[in-house]
Amino acid sequence: MLLVIVDQDRGVLDELSLQAITFANSVDPSAPLVGLVVGASGREVADTLGRFGFTDVYLATAPDLNDYSAAACGRAAAELVSTLAPTAVIAIGSQRGNEILAHLGAILGLPVATECTSLSLGSPTHVVRARWAGNLMESAELHGSPAICSVVSHLAPPAAAMNQTALVTEFFPNFTDTDLAGQVRSRIAESEGGTSLADAKVIVSGGRGVGAEGFGPLEELAHLLAGTVGCSRVVTSAGWRPHAEQVGQTGTKVAPDLYIACGISGATQHLAGCRNSKTIVAINTDPDSPIMAVADYAIVGDLHQILPALVAATRTARGI
Amino acid sequence: MEILVCIKRVPLSGAKFSLTADGRDIDTSRLGFTVSPHEECAVEVAVRLVEQHGGSTTVLSLGVEDAEEQIRDALAVGIDEGILLVTDGEEWDAQATAGAIVDAIAESGKSFDLILFGNESADASGNQVGIRVAHALSRPTLSGLKGVQVSDGVLVGERPAGSVREVFEVSLPAVATVKDGAAIPRYPSVPGRIRAKKKPVHRSTPTRPLSLLAKQSVSVPESVGKQTKILGSGPEGISALVDVFRSIGVI
Ligand SMILES: Cc1cc2nc3c(=O)[nH]c(=O)nc-3n(C[C@H](O)[C@H](O)[C@H](O)COP(=O)(O)OP(=O)(O)OC[C@H]3O[C@@H](n4cnc5c(N)ncnc54)[C@H](O)[C@@H]3O)c2cc1C
Ligand SMILES: Nc1ncnc2c1ncn2[C@@H]1O[C@H](COP(=O)(O)O)[C@@H](O)[C@H]1O
């Protein structure tokens, strides 16, 4: 039996979690799939999960659990593990998925393999996992049972819905005060308007080569292409642009239709965040910079000359 | 307020990693070293909290003798003292690392009000050492924070989640793991560097337990061998680029 943790937020299913189901199926197609949903607000989500191939779904609730708490999710999973003895516990490698598994591993005293791309169960279990945000792959032995692992996002497609229902069982884990203390207390709406980096179809991104004062033409071009501005870490740590615009290993991972990298060298940590873009254009004075090796198209030259002219040409092409 | 920050020395390479001959690790012979940006932010958060509320800060790293360099970098931006848990360079998995950190905390004789970690290490990306330490010490943890405040003995953390920011509150003593963006790290000043040389760094040599997540080998993923089309040098490439915009449907 495989236990899959399905995340939900105030009654809304986390779509990424559906990829964890697909991955679990590929690990052992013959094993029954059991789902865990945490929080009373997840009742409707739990009721619909049967469609994705679960035989059983467990819903963990408590009167004092009113919102998401990573520790509470970990505790609920630990209790299910002790009653059901699954061979593996699988979650999606999102912030939440990874932190829930960390709590689970800590409670059970078991190792956790995050960001896996493959898992073969056994003793020991063999995993392949991404290190360095996917710039290095590791083969490792994972000892102990169950095997606890998260799957890299966007490796597997979301599970397809079928005509099937699951038995939903509510249970009441013994949450500690510490588990409950870590709940979300409130939410503040983000003030920024416009498209967010993660959802943008076009990103005009700037690096050190743009300079503190040089982002005007990038904003104009982004506007003309109905996109948004991104940047490298050099730019955010210099305070030229807000951190929310940083693309990369420790920034946002993006996959737009078009990524225009202006004055960005293409360090592995930056590429970790933009490599999956459909088309990459590089504008750089250095024909040997690493960004050139991943770009589909490039203009070699000074962005301070090229960008204003590109803005003008784009405006003409759009007839405005 | 007493604060501990845990940082990990990792190689810094902007290009594709090259591997050692046995394929078990990255060849670091020609690389510089650094810590994860998440951890740089954790250091900055610690320094700011003590500037605001008073107290003292300690930085800890488990790693080779040379990890003293990363500890001194933290001392140079205002951390007061260091703890180096010296290893022989073999990989310690997250459980072993957390165990050694918990032992070192006990040995330090200090009762840290707040223990800060990066959300994940740059190299191993385990997302778990901080949470494991919190469980071992029976303390609440908040993870993935991009905002950290303390007021009246309460840790207030926040992080973006979709179109909102989630806000959390737990009482100290607590553990927090932070992300790049939580604070812009300051650069060390020359006097800061000089002061750092005189600050104490305590050493001990823990014994490595068997890894339950044991690395066997590593590999560099094949890059999707793209054919880059050079559209031109300087402004002459512009009209070709506008054609590309048209052909992929963005204008
Ligand atoms: C663990 C870790 C995580 C990291 N996470 C991230 C991350 O999330 N995101 C990130 O971006 N970085 C990250 N970094 C930093 C990363 O290693 C690089 O330092 C950074 O991406 C470099 O930014 P850059 O390309 O803007 O600057 P540089 O590397 O300095 O490149 C500047 C480029 O601009 C070009 N240029 C200069 N002038 C011009 C001009 N006039 N016209 C055209 N081109 C010009 C140069 O040829 C050069 O290629 C991380 C580092 C570590 C160690
Ligand atoms: N060897 C180490 N020494 C000190 N701190 C570490 C070490 N390894 C991990 N950490 C801390 O734990 C965090 C999470 O690491 P990980 O669980 O490996 O992703 C890191 O960001 C560091 O703050």
* Ligand with minimal distance to A245 CA: 1
Question: Is position A187 within any domain?
Answer: no
Residue B222 touches partner A, C-beta closer than 8 Å: no
pLDDT, one tens digit per residue, over B35-87 is 999 999 999 999 999 999 999 999 999 999 999 999 999 999 999 999 999 99
In this predicted structure, what is the pLDDT of residue B93?
98
Number of domains in chain A: 2
Closest ligand 2 atom, CA of B125?
19
Closest ligand 1 atom, CA of A250?
8
The pTM assigned to this predicted structure is: 0.96
Q: What is the CATH number of the domain that holds A282?
A: 3.40.50.1220
Residues A159 and A209 occupy one common structural domain: no
What is the CB < 6 Å shell around ligand 1? A 207-209, 232-235, 246-251, 263-265, 267, 269-270, 273, 283-286, 289, 302-304; B 12, 14, 34, 36-37, 122
Residues A87 and A44 occupy one common structural domain: yes
* Nearest residue in A to B14, CA atom: A267
Q: Which of B98, B142, B242 comes nearest A313 by C-beta?
A: B242
Question: Is position A296 within any domain?
Answer: yes
Q: For each successive 10 residues of chain A (320 residues), what is the average pLDDT?
A: 97 96 95 97 96 96 98 98 98 98 98 98 97 95 98 92 93 97 94 77 98 98 97 96 95 95 97 95 96 95 97 94
Shortest distance between the Cα of A204 and any Cα of chain B, in A, equals 12
Residues A8 and A151 occupy one common structural domain: yes
Closest ligand 2 atom, CA of B120?
19
Residues A31 and A156 occupy one common structural domain: yes
Chain B contacts of A257, Cβ < 8 Å? 248-250
Radius of gyration of chain A (CA): 23
pLDDT score of B27 more than 90: yes
Question: Is position A257 within any domain?
Answer: yes
B72 phi/psi in degrees, rounded to 5:
-65, -35
pLDDT, one tens digit per residue, over B183-195 is 999 999 999 999 9
Instruction: Compute the mean pLDDT over every residue in chain B, rounded to the nearest whole number.
Output: 96
Residues A206 and A269 occupy one common structural domain: yes
Residues A97 and A242 occupy one common structural domain: no
Chain A contacts of B124, Cβ < 8 Å? 131
Residues A25 and A171 occupy one common structural domain: yes
Question: Is position A188 within any domain?
Answer: no
For residue B70, how far is its CA from the centre of ligand 2 (angstroms)?
13
Contact B125 A130 (CB under 8 A): yes
In this predicted structure, what is the pLDDT of residue B16?
85
Closest ligand 2 atom, CA of B129?
17
Contact A297 B244 (CB under 8 A): yes
Question: Is position A312 within any domain?
Answer: yes
* Nearest residue in A to B39, CA atom: A250
Residues A29 and A165 occupy one common structural domain: yes
For residue B133, how far is its CA from the centre of ligand 2 (angstroms)?
10
For residue A71, how far is its CA from the centre of ligand 1 (angstroms)?
36
In this predicted structure, what is the pLDDT of residue B225?
63
pLDDT score of B215 more than 90: yes
Residue range of the domain that includes A12? 2-181
Residues A162 and A236 occupy one common structural domain: no
Residues A169 and A208 occupy one common structural domain: no
In this predicted structure, what is the pLDDT of residue A194?
63
Residues A108 and A221 occupy one common structural domain: no
For residue B118, how far is its CA from the centre of ligand 2 (angstroms)?
7
Instruction: Enumerate the domain spans of chain B.
Output: 2-223
Question: Is position A313 within any domain?
Answer: yes
Residues A211 and A300 occupy one common structural domain: yes
Question: Is position A256 within any domain?
Answer: yes
Chain A contacts of B242, Cβ < 8 Å? 310, 313-314, 317
Q: Which of A150, A181, A212 is the last residue of a domain?
A: A181
Chain A contacts of B38, Cβ < 8 Å? 250
How far apart are the C-alpha atoms of B119 and B41, rounded to whole Å? 10
With helix as H, strand as E and coil as C, how does chain A read?
Answer: CEEEECCEECCEECCCHHHHHHHHHHHCCCCCEEEEEECHHHHHHHHHHHHHCCCEEEEECCCCCCCCCHHHHHHHHHHHHHHHCCCEEEEECCHHHHHHHHHHHHHHCCCEEEEEEEEECCCCEEEEEEEHHHCEEEEEEECCCCEEEEECCCCCCCCCCCCCCCEEEEECCCCCHHHHHCCCCEEEECCCCCCCHHHCCEEEEECHHHCCCCCHHHHHHHHHCCCEEEECHHHHHCCCCCHHHEECCCCECCCCCEEEEECCCCCHHHHHHHCCCCEEEEEECCCCCCHHHHCCEEEECCHHHHHHHHHHHHHHHHCC
For residue A298, how far is its CA from the centre of ligand 2 (angstroms)?
38
- Architecture, CATH, for domain B2-223: 3-Layer(aba) Sandwich (3.40)
Contact B226 A317 (CB under 8 A): no
